[in-house]
Structure 1
Amino acid sequence: MNYNVGLVSLGCDKNRIDSEIMLSKLSKKGYNIVNDEIQADIIIINTCGFVNSAKEESIDTILEMAQNKKYGRCKSLIVTGCMAERYKEELLKEIPEIDAIVGTGNYYEICDIVYKTLNNEKGIVKTDNLNYNFDYEERILTTPNHYAYIKIAEGCSNRCSYCIIPKIRGNFRSRNIDSIINEAKYLSRKGIKEIILVAQDSTMYGADIYGKKMLHELLKKLEEIDGIEWIRVMYCYPERITDELIETIANSKKICHYFDIPIQHVSNKILKQMNRASTKEDIVSLINKIRYRIPDAVIRTSIIVGFPGETKEDFDELKEFLHSYKLDRVGVFTFSPEEGTIAANLPNQIDEETKNERKDILMKIQSEISFEKNKALIGEIVDVIVDGKVKNNKYYGRTSKDAPTIDQQVLIDANDDVINIGEIIKVKINKALTYDLMGVVYHESCK
């Protein structure tokens, strides 16, 4: 019998890659991959367990999928990923429909686990393989056909006081360069034009296996691959962005002038309590350096508000920083007290109402900055990678300054042009929205 497998992937793009590898392994074993859980004999939920909102989404999804064991054709319900690693006993106890728990470092065993559950083995737990070695694996891409993520490292050896990741993903460990290059070539052969490098700390890449940070060298080798047109780097810790890395990006025609730098805060007091390695002065110096060397660089960051002990003065410092440095893309998150972290037990916890008020204030400031920056682009001609079609001659895409799913889009009027999804085209911007742009296909003859 050919069984159908449905997989729901939650959380980050590193999790997505694990899901894609599992799908490939199962497909090679003869399982049919389906997108509708109603048609699935085996349902896998690859969970996120990073913050409270992610945990709630994971639980809601598991409970929803569990209904298919009661009323549908599902014979096997398997929970994988970060939440499985972190809460294995609780999940099995509270949701008896779950047949197997698979941790972050055990997804390579998915075929054997599926086989066992189909043969009536229940309560299977495979976890605690945190520091597993990983290498290039074929995968079934769940992204559109023109972009894909590449995981260049796994785990994290930073010990930010609010973060649980090292306990559920293990210590930082890089893949070797040849493995990454082989994967990028494989993706290029499949028609991928944009590759997005991800890790918990991309700027640490290579330090553990080569004795020095090697992200800039990796990028130079990736540039040589035919077919790859855009290379994007995510999750760059500010203290590890070297002059060599900035120069490599500045001198490249393929590497996007896009810096994803999670600063989290700018109050030195709060940064110290977060156990971050940067100071406000370091962060400001880095921003100035990047903008001086690469004037068109886009800087994206994430900020945590409501960290224990964050005073009005600390928050005012954040507001002033946003007003002064006008970063291009900003995500604001409220502090989530994660059990097992130092920050969860710190005194002077902030109430939820105050956290949310501070988040709203920062997002209002950033929305005004974003709108002004977008208005300045009206009349500009930009390269846009086409991500999809809305209807008739209307499409949407992104500039090289925007990552998929998290940054803004360009809404494109193609007029009578025929546009292919994944194509990189010229677009003239004619309207600005707060977080999106609008434009028309541009031809040289339009001059």
Structure 2
Amino acid sequence: MNAAGIQPVTRGVERPAHDARRGKCSTAASVGGELRSVRGRSPAGASLARAGTGGDQRRLSVEQRRDRLGPYHGRVLPTRGYGGNVTDNRAPQSFEVRTYGCQMNVHDSERISGVLEEAGYVRSSGEGTADLVVFNTCAVRENADNRLYGNLGRLRSAKQENPGMQIAVGGCLAQKDRGEIVRRAPWVDAVFGTHNLGSLPTLLERARHNEEAEVEILESLDKFPSTLPARRESAYSGWVSVSVGCNNTCTFCIVPALRGKEKDRRPGDVLAEVGALASEGVLEVTLLGQNVNAYGVEFGDRYAFGKLLRSCGDIEGLERVRFTSPHPRDFTDDVISAMAETPNVCPQLHMPLQSGSDRMLKAMRRSYRAERFLGIVDKVRAAMPHAAITTDIIVGFPGETEEDFEATLDVVRRARFASAFTFQYSKRPGTPAAEMEGQLPKEVVQQRYDRLVELQNEISLEANSELVGSEVELLVAEGAGRKNAHTARWSGRARDGRLVHFTPSGEVEDRIRPGDVVRTRVTQAAPHHLLADDGVSEHRRTKAGDHWEVGQRPKTSGVGLGLPTFGAPSAESAASAEQGCGC
């Protein structure tokens, strides 16, 4: 086990390759960076084969494969940083990362950007098509595959006009579809999964050298993503993962199959990364995990997440801490106490409900019941009366009856969520729910969905209306309001996560920047936002605002300290985090 707490694994990758000009494709097994002959299946289930015309396949000997690879002989070319040195004998290549899906994907894209910059690529200015376009995909959202292949199709002509351009596909859909991507879109150069973000520059260099697609999908982590550098998207707000993967088996969810079993980072790693962000002026950090409440189980501390929240309270300059997402089954009272007693932990809780029907929760394999969920809500409100509690709800799960749906509406009325992300169930191939009987007609699901949204909007408006006349502290956000350019309003997030559009006045109007902090009074409420049109009573310029003003976004090196301790990181730890030990 290495310093990041990851068990080393034997690497075996499936790498279908193709040359769009010749209409050929092949598959190679790479183990430990070298090609070797394979009988049957490699440790990761890879095979060594070549597909000729008409779909005829034959085994390639090592010698034949080496002849085809030329000077590579199955080895990676000399690299700089985390990938090939793309600046050798040519101008720097520009890149663009397009992200779909959840917050974890957004954070992964920051890692991808950091790895590419480390390898010598430069971020695209946004004018024209970049030399490299990377798609970080989602397999959870409806029509995710259609969206990807549609976008890939639109880039085909751009690549024909610019033969040096490269396209890469990563993320959950890549982990699921693997070689299918290059079969459906032969102009793609590299496909990588959720477990090997750091391999992208090398895959691109191989594809460029061999004029064939490179597909590398690992079945478990190559290295913990936090050991990779990251180019942050925001000057004032940052994501920090506490774990990757998930040990739950919800019948509607494909994430565990694509991201693997839960692996926890050590507390010292997490706190060092949070401290490094705070030292760069970041004011707000969101701790990420598929189930943050299970954090610590892997290293034998069931109460680790509450301790982690308290330790974040000791980090200088860190003003706001959020987290997502907890699972009701693992929610413990010590986390509620830590939230209430740690000043910089925000009074906000996003806890997925999914259904208010115990029968549906059992079918979903959610391992808690409605009363357990409501009990947590009551405890949170008792400790933090003004906390904003939000949730996720699925409507139309297979077998859902009108009685089941009414049970969901009842829980929504009792919980009085500040807001809810509501979803219409749709089949996800590869999940148990996709094979269940009782799939509901679309019109029934739509009708129930509309009723739920109407109820939640009423509750949200009532809750927001209670805030009219109160003062709120806002972290000014960039581009959070679609109508801001027409209304002369700015937007920001209150400590409880609510979106507030505000109108500055006087001299302060020209001095406010995203990343600054303001105080203002709420004048009007809507279901999904608040308005504050009486000007700003306080304005504090921040280091984050300074960085935003000059276009400087934080770049953090990889963190792999492996410290099983709590408390603010020491000076030595912070220094190591900034340098990045990469272990």
Using the size of structure 2 for normalisation, the TM-score is: 0.72
Aligned residues: CA RMSD: 1.9
Give the 5 Å matches for 1:378-393. Answer: 378-388=468-478, 390-391=484-485
* Structure 1 CA distance for aligned equivalents of residues 492 and 504 of structure 2: 12
* Structure 2 CA distance for aligned equivalents of residues 210 and 61 of structure 1: 45
1:168 equivalent among 231, 253, 258: 258
Three-state SS of the structure 2 residue aligned to 1:55 is: helix
Q: Which moved more, 1:347-356 or 1:273-282?
A: 347-356
**What is the CA-CA distance between 1:35 and the residue it aligns to?**
4.6
Three-state SS of the structure 1 residue aligned to 2:299 is: helix
* Structure 1 CA distance for aligned equivalents of residues 129 and 402 of structure 2: 53
Q: Give the aligned residue type for 2:493.
A: R
**What is the CA-CA distance between 1:347 and the residue it aligns to?**
0.7
Give the 5 Å matches for 1:217-256. Answer: 217-256=307-346
Write out per-residue CA displacement over residues 162-193 of structure 1, whole angstroms, 9 at most, x where no aligned residue. Answer: 11111100001111111111111111122110
Using the size of structure 1 for normalisation, the TM-score is: 0.94
1:436 equivalent among 529, 545, 550: 529
Distance 1:340 1:411, change over 3 A: same
Partner of residue 425, structure 2: 335
Q: Give the aligned residue type for 1:197.
A: L
Q: Give the aligned residue type for 2:182.
A: L
**What is the CA-CA distance between 1:212 and the residue it aligns to?**
2.1
Q: Give the aligned residue type for 1:428.
A: R
Structure 1 unaligned runs (5+)? 403-407
* Structure 2 CA distance for aligned equivalents of residues 161 and 8 of structure 1: 29
Distance 1:36 1:65, change over 3 A: farther
Three-state SS of the structure 2 residue aligned to 1:162 is: coil
Structure 2 residue 488 is the aligned partner of structure 1 residue 397: no
2:149, 2:185 within 8 Å by CA — same for their partners in 1?
Answer: no
1:76 equivalent among 160, 166, 171: 166
Q: Which has the higher contact order (CA 8 A, sep 6+)?
A: 2
**What is the CA-CA distance between 1:426 and the residue it aligns to?**
0.9
* Structure 1 CA distance for aligned equivalents of residues 446 and 188 of structure 2: 35
* Structure 1 CA distance for aligned equivalents of residues 159 and 526 of structure 2: 45
Partner of residue 138, structure 1: 229
Partner of residue 261, structure 1: 351
**What is the CA-CA distance between 1:321 and the residue it aligns to?**
2.0
1:40, 1:74 within 8 Å by CA — same for their partners in 2?
Answer: no
Partner of residue 146, structure 2: 56
**What is the CA-CA distance between 1:213 and the residue it aligns to?**
3.8
Once the two structures are aligned, what percentage of the paired residues are identical? 27
Q: Give the aligned residue type for 2:490.
A: Y
Write out per-residue CA displacement over residues 83-120 of structure 1, whole angstroms, 9 at most, x where no aligned residue. Answer: 01101232111111111110111111111112112224
Distance 1:73 1:411, change over 3 A: farther
1:385, 1:423 within 8 Å by CA — same for their partners in 2?
Answer: yes
Write out per-residue CA displacement over residues 403-441 of structure 1, whole angstroms, 9 at most, x where no aligned residue. Answer: xxxxx5211111111323212211100111221111134
2:396, 2:425 within 8 Å by CA — same for their partners in 1?
Answer: yes
* Structure 1 CA distance for aligned equivalents of residues 379 and 395 of structure 2: 26
Q: Give the aligned residue type for 1:443.
A: S
2:397 equivalent among 307, 310, 317: 307
**What is the CA-CA distance between 1:285 and the residue it aligns to?**
1.2
Structure 2 unaligned runs (5+)? 1-89, 539-583
Partner of residue 512, structure 2: 419
**What is the CA-CA distance between 1:52 and the residue it aligns to?**
2.2
Structure 2 residue 128 is the aligned partner of structure 1 residue 38: yes
2:398, 2:437 within 8 Å by CA — same for their partners in 1?
Answer: yes
Q: Count residues in correspondence.
A: 439
Three-state SS of the structure 1 residue aligned to 2:490 is: strand
Give the 5 Å matches for 1:15-30. Answer: 15-30=105-120
* Structure 1 CA distance for aligned equivalents of residues 227 and 320 of structure 2: 20
Partner of residue 206, structure 1: 296
Q: Give the aligned residue type for 1:429.
A: V
Structure (1 or 2) with the larger CA radius of gyration: 2
* Structure 2 CA distance for aligned equivalents of residues 432 and 262 of structure 1: 25
